[in-house]
Structure 1
Amino acid sequence: MTLKVDCPTCKKDVIWHSDNEFRPFCSKRCQLIDLGEWADEGHKITQPIQGAAVMTEDMLDALEDEFLQHNKFFVEPE
Protein backbone atom coordinates (compact mmCIF):
# COMPACT_ATOMS: atom_id res chain seq x y z
CA MET A 1 0.00 0.00 0.00
CA THR A 2 1.36 3.39 -0.98
CA LEU A 3 0.88 6.19 1.52
CA LYS A 4 0.26 9.63 0.08
CA VAL A 5 0.37 12.83 2.11
CA ASP A 6 -0.14 16.48 1.22
CA CYS A 7 2.97 18.64 0.95
CA PRO A 8 2.72 21.04 3.93
CA THR A 9 3.72 23.97 1.71
CA CYS A 10 1.95 23.58 -1.64
CA LYS A 11 -0.53 20.73 -0.87
CA LYS A 12 0.60 18.51 -3.80
CA ASP A 13 0.38 14.74 -3.28
CA VAL A 14 3.63 13.29 -1.95
CA ILE A 15 4.40 9.58 -1.83
CA TRP A 16 5.73 8.72 1.63
CA HIS A 17 8.69 6.51 0.77
CA SER A 18 12.30 6.31 1.95
CA ASP A 19 13.48 7.21 -1.57
CA ASN A 20 11.81 10.61 -1.28
CA GLU A 21 14.54 12.68 0.38
CA PHE A 22 12.26 15.71 0.84
CA ARG A 23 9.31 13.98 2.52
CA PRO A 24 6.88 15.22 3.71
CA PHE A 25 7.62 17.97 1.17
CA CYS A 26 7.36 17.52 -2.59
CA SER A 27 10.62 19.32 -3.39
CA LYS A 28 13.66 21.11 -1.98
CA ARG A 29 11.91 24.40 -2.75
CA CYS A 30 8.93 23.60 -0.51
CA GLN A 31 11.29 22.32 2.20
CA LEU A 32 13.23 25.61 2.16
CA ILE A 33 10.04 27.70 2.19
CA ASP A 34 8.96 25.86 5.35
CA LEU A 35 12.40 26.34 6.94
CA GLY A 36 12.16 30.06 6.18
CA GLU A 37 8.78 30.21 7.91
CA TRP A 38 10.30 28.69 11.05
CA ALA A 39 13.26 31.11 10.88
CA ASP A 40 10.90 34.10 10.54
CA GLU A 41 8.85 32.72 13.45
CA GLY A 42 5.86 32.22 11.18
CA HIS A 43 5.54 28.72 12.64
CA LYS A 44 5.54 28.30 16.40
CA ILE A 45 5.01 25.49 18.86
CA THR A 46 2.15 26.77 20.96
CA GLN A 47 2.27 24.28 23.80
CA PRO A 48 3.65 25.96 26.92
CA ILE A 49 7.02 24.84 28.24
CA GLN A 50 6.55 22.39 31.06
CA GLY A 51 8.30 22.93 34.35
CA ALA A 52 11.36 20.96 35.29
CA ALA A 53 10.60 17.52 36.67
CA VAL A 54 12.53 16.23 39.65
CA MET A 55 14.71 13.33 38.52
CA THR A 56 15.82 10.67 40.97
CA GLU A 57 19.02 8.64 40.57
CA ASP A 58 16.90 5.60 39.70
CA MET A 59 15.13 7.52 36.93
CA LEU A 60 18.46 8.73 35.51
CA ASP A 61 19.91 5.20 35.64
CA ALA A 62 16.87 3.83 33.80
CA LEU A 63 17.15 6.51 31.10
CA GLU A 64 20.85 5.82 30.70
CA ASP A 65 20.27 2.07 30.39
CA GLU A 66 17.56 2.60 27.77
CA PHE A 67 19.78 5.00 25.82
CA LEU A 68 22.70 2.57 25.83
CA GLN A 69 20.48 -0.28 24.63
CA HIS A 70 19.50 1.74 21.56
CA ASN A 71 22.91 3.33 20.91
CA LYS A 72 25.50 0.54 20.99
CA PHE A 73 28.30 2.75 19.65
CA PHE A 74 28.61 4.35 23.12
CA VAL A 75 29.37 1.01 24.79
CA GLU A 76 33.06 0.21 25.23
CA PRO A 77 34.14 -3.16 23.80
CA GLU A 78 34.74 -5.88 26.41
Structure 2
Amino acid sequence: MNIQDFIHSDPAIKNGQLVFRGTDVLVEALLLHIEQERAIDEFVEDNPSVSMEQVKGVINFAHALIERKKQ
Protein backbone atom coordinates (compact mmCIF):
# COMPACT_ATOMS: atom_id res chain seq x y z
CA MET A 1 0.00 0.00 0.00
CA ASN A 2 1.07 3.59 -0.46
CA ILE A 3 0.22 6.76 1.39
CA GLN A 4 -2.69 7.53 -0.95
CA ASP A 5 -4.39 4.43 0.46
CA PHE A 6 -4.54 6.15 3.84
CA ILE A 7 -4.90 9.89 3.24
CA HIS A 8 -6.10 12.32 0.58
CA SER A 9 -6.82 15.94 -0.13
CA ASP A 10 -10.03 17.26 -1.67
CA PRO A 11 -10.89 20.97 -1.93
CA ALA A 12 -14.47 20.09 -0.91
CA ILE A 13 -13.30 18.52 2.37
CA LYS A 14 -11.66 20.69 5.03
CA ASN A 15 -10.50 23.19 2.37
CA GLY A 16 -8.17 20.66 0.80
CA GLN A 17 -6.20 19.87 3.94
CA LEU A 18 -4.93 16.29 4.28
CA VAL A 19 -7.53 13.99 5.80
CA PHE A 20 -7.70 10.28 6.44
CA ARG A 21 -9.24 8.67 3.35
CA GLY A 22 -13.00 8.18 3.70
CA THR A 23 -13.24 10.63 6.60
CA ASP A 24 -13.09 14.32 7.34
CA VAL A 25 -10.53 13.78 10.13
CA LEU A 26 -7.43 15.87 9.59
CA VAL A 27 -4.05 14.16 9.53
CA GLU A 28 -2.87 17.19 11.50
CA ALA A 29 -5.16 16.06 14.33
CA LEU A 30 -3.10 12.88 14.65
CA LEU A 31 0.12 14.88 14.75
CA LEU A 32 -1.24 17.16 17.46
CA HIS A 33 -2.42 14.11 19.39
CA ILE A 34 1.08 12.62 19.24
CA GLU A 35 2.65 15.96 20.15
CA GLN A 36 0.50 15.98 23.31
CA GLU A 37 1.98 12.54 24.13
CA ARG A 38 -1.42 10.88 24.04
CA ALA A 39 -1.92 7.21 23.16
CA ILE A 40 -2.61 6.26 19.56
CA ASP A 41 -5.39 3.92 20.71
CA GLU A 42 -7.09 6.94 22.23
CA PHE A 43 -6.92 8.80 18.90
CA VAL A 44 -8.65 5.90 17.15
CA GLU A 45 -11.26 5.70 19.92
CA ASP A 46 -11.91 9.45 19.64
CA ASN A 47 -12.13 9.21 15.84
CA PRO A 48 -13.98 5.97 15.06
CA SER A 49 -14.03 6.69 11.32
CA VAL A 50 -10.22 6.37 11.30
CA SER A 51 -8.79 2.86 11.46
CA MET A 52 -5.66 1.79 13.28
CA GLU A 53 -4.37 0.63 9.88
CA GLN A 54 -4.69 4.19 8.55
CA VAL A 55 -2.90 5.65 11.57
CA LYS A 56 -0.07 3.13 11.31
CA GLY A 57 0.17 3.76 7.57
CA VAL A 58 0.66 7.49 8.11
CA ILE A 59 3.19 6.95 10.90
CA ASN A 60 5.13 4.39 8.84
CA PHE A 61 5.16 6.73 5.85
CA ALA A 62 6.50 9.59 7.98
CA HIS A 63 9.15 7.29 9.42
CA ALA A 64 10.20 6.18 5.93
CA LEU A 65 10.56 9.82 4.86
CA ILE A 66 12.79 10.54 7.83
CA GLU A 67 14.93 7.49 7.15
CA ARG A 68 15.27 8.44 3.49
CA LYS A 69 16.50 11.91 4.47
CA LYS A 70 19.20 10.36 6.67
CA GLN A 71 20.76 8.53 3.72
TM-score (norm 2): 0.30
Structure showing greater radius of gyration is 1
Please identify which structure carries the higher helix content: 2
Higher normalized contact order (CA 8 Å, seq sep 6+, divided by chain length): 2
Instruction: Please report the TM-score for the alignment, with normalisation by the length of structure 1.
Output: 0.28
